Amino acid sequence: MDYVRLGTTGLEVSPICLGTWRFGEVSSGVTETDRREAHELLDTFAERGGNFVDTANGYGEGRSEQWIGEWLADRDREDFVIASKCYWSDVSRFQENLSRKNVRAEVEGSLEKLDTDYLDVLYLHRFDDETPIERTLRTIDDLVSEGKVNYVGISTCDAWKLTKGLWQADVNNYEAFTVTQPQYSAVHREPVEDYLEVCADQDLAVCPYSPLHGGLLTGKYERTDEGDVEAPDGSRGDLDEHFEDWYLSEDAWDVVEEVEAVAEEADATPAQVALRWLMDEDRFTCVPIVGARTVDQLEENLDAVDVALSDDQRARIDEAGAVGD
């Protein structure tokens, strides 16, 4: 597996990042990925050359970080790039923000659960409108100086808020955002286009979550004659009551059809084509985060590194989900 430079961080990472949102997550009374399954996924990822793992303090009520920490204990920490997040608290609902107190408490909690001395990347999980961003950035700048955080990133927010954070870091000489994590896929583009333009202009790495649009771009979902979705048992569409509201639209189905057509031509699966489309971004470093729930799904996703798309195939997918249409 060839590694890529994560924007301006200097970190060399696998071209696909392993997402662990579903580790320990309970949906409709079912634990989506249990401890044994989580460790199997991490084993497979590492065996294939993967070194970039994404988690958050609140995933699985803290179980995601804990299980990753247990797994890391038997390995060389320096071989892996670990990213986590803060905003929501896994300790108290009264500390869900980016105040100095909460940021420090959540980072210390993450380090303890992960059993590590530092985070390679700390994302702000959301933008906190109630706490001045310069105060949050100063706190993280202190954590960087203390060696507890190496790089700072931000996930979902408006483009102007991302720009505001970059400006405040610049004028105050604080550690600035170098990595971002928006929702971005061949389907989900228009809502984040302004955000991505900032990333391209400022040379920020982009690590998209939901790169397969909730699994819709895997090709496993079918549209019924009534316009509903037919979801396999145990899939997100089957377990998540919000699936149709969040992921389905007429435009989404148009992209799915084009991705499936390209997959047939490229001797690949729809999921591999959708991931390759992201990895081929030429405006910025793009490392998609995959949240596979089985080893077979993860193996399929990782094989996307060997898929090649022609300019024409990329253009057809671009057109199917073109921004502004």
When pLDDT is averaged across residues 60-73 and rounded to a whole number, the result is 96
Q: Which residue has the higher pLDDT, 229 or 62?
A: 62
pLDDT of residue 226: 60
Q: What would the mean pLDDT of 239-261 be, rounded to a whole number? A: 74
User: What is the spatial distance between Cα 266 and Cα 220, in angstroms, rounded to a whole number?
Assistant: 18
Task: Give the global pTM.
Answer: 0.93
- In our burial notation (b when 16+ CB lie closer than 10 A, e otherwise), range 254-272 reads bbbebbbbbbeebebbbbb
More confident residue, 211 or 245: 211
Q: What percent of the chain has pLDDT over 90?
A: 80
- Mean pLDDT confidence for 193-215: 96
pLDDT, mean over the chain: 91
**% pLDDT > 70, the chain:** 89
pLDDT band at residue 53, thresholds of 50, 70 and 90?
very high
Widest distance between CA atoms in the chain? 59
221 catalytic per annotation: no
The pLDDT value recorded for residue 239 is 47
Of these ranges, 16-25, 220-229, 250-259, the one predicted with the greatest mean pLDDT is 16-25
Question: Residue 325 — pLDDT band, cuts 50, 70, 90?
Answer: very low
Q: Which positions ≥6 away from 132 have C-beta within 8 Å?
A: none
Residue 192, C-beta contacts closer than 8 angstroms, at least 6 positions apart? 182, 183, 184
Q: Give me the pLDDT at residue 220, please.
A: 75
Query: What stretch of H or E contains 107?
Result: helix 100-114
Q: How many residues does the chain have?
A: 325
pLDDT tens-digit map of 98-155:
999 999 999 999 999 999 999 999 999 999 999 999 999 999 999 999 999 999 999 9
So what's the pLDDT on residue 179?
Answer: 98
Q: What are phi and psi of 58, to 5 degrees?
A: -100, -5
pLDDT digits (tens, 9 = 90+) for 153-202: 999 999 999 999 999 999 999 999 999 999 999 999 999 999 999 999 99
Which one of 59, 195, 209, 247 is the catalytic residue? 59
Alpha-carbon gap, residue 285 to 133, rounded angstroms:
25
85's CB contacts (< 8 A; 6+ apart) are 55, 56, 57, 58, 122, 123, 124, 125, 155
